[in-house]
Amino acid sequence: MPVSAVLMRKSAFDKVLDRMDRALVMVSTFAENNLAMAAGIATLDVLASERLVERAASTGDRLMRGFSDMVTRYELVREVRGKGMMIAIDFARPQSLGLRTAWDLMEAARKGLFAQLITIPLFTDHKILSQVAGTDSHAVKFLPPLAISDSDCEWMMKAVEAVIAASHRVPGAAWSLGRKLVSNFVRT
């Protein structure tokens, strides 16, 4: 249900909407929608009563700690960053010859292509929706729901670790996917 709001100081409101002929200066597609307002109020009630903001902070910290442990264990993982339930894992060019060669081949085809070796198996094999953080980016971002359970956190951390571990095996399933992506990219 779409909901919108415009907030401003009274002094700004008085200057923008100071006369009847200026009443339509500020309009909204979602204005005067009682159902949307009821849904918005119900959402705010759930956020407060279930303490979802506080829970998101603690659950996000838990996920970030779990992902951060991977920085020391996997050379492709450079950094984990985020706030609350907005989390990103940054990947970087590895040092070992085999991984570095595979990385360089992927990057030669398309900068940032490596991150797809993480997002695609996360979705196809584990049903976890993640996203590359931008064009030419080596960061994969996660935005899990605020109401994620403890068991879902464990499942998510295990799945992410399994995919990252697979990306460290050359040749392996992840790099086979990479070869396929590169061949498809080169053909287009």
Read off the pLDDT of residues 80-99 as tens digits, 9 standing for 90 and up: 999 999 999 999 999 999 89
CA distance 184 to 170: 20
Q: Identify which of 101, 98, 100, 122 has the alpha carbon closest to the alpha carbon of residue 177.
A: 122
Token pair of 176, please?
């086979």
At residue 33 the predicted structure's pLDDT band, cuts being 50, 70 and 90, is confident
CA distance 168 to 183: 21
- Work out how many domains the chain is built from and give that number: 1
How many degrees, rounded to 5, is the angle at CA 52 between CA 47 and CA 58? 160
Q: What is the pTM of this model?
A: 0.76
At residue 187 the predicted structure's pLDDT band, cuts being 50, 70 and 90, is low
On whether residue 93 sits in a domain, the answer given is yes
On whether residue 6 sits in a domain, the answer given is no
Residues 37-44: what's their mean pLDDT?
90
Lateral strand order in the sheet of 86-91? 77-83, 86-91, 139-142, 131-132
On whether residue 14 sits in a domain, the answer given is no
Question: Given this model, what pLDDT does residue 186 score?
Answer: 64
On whether residue 68 sits in a domain, the answer given is yes
On whether residue 13 sits in a domain, the answer given is no
Question: Given this model, what pLDDT does residue 110 score?
Answer: 82
Using the Cα atoms of residue 34, residue 36, residue 37 and residue 38 in order, give the sign of their dihedral.
positive
pLDDT tens profile 47-84: 999 999 999 999 999 999 999 999 999 999 999 999 99
Domain that includes residue 163, residue range? 52-187
On whether residue 179 sits in a domain, the answer given is yes
Q: What percent of the chain has pLDDT over 70?
A: 87
Q: Which stretches within the chain are classed as H helix?
A: 10-16, 34-49, 52-73, 97-109, 116-126, 150-167, 173-187
Q: What is the DSSP letter of 115?
A: G
Among all chains, which residue has been given the structure tokens 């923008």?
16
On whether residue 133 sits in a domain, the answer given is yes
Question: Given this model, what pLDDT does residue 174 score?
Answer: 60
Which CATH number does the domain housing residue 78 bear?
3.90.1150.10
pLDDT above 70 for 31? no
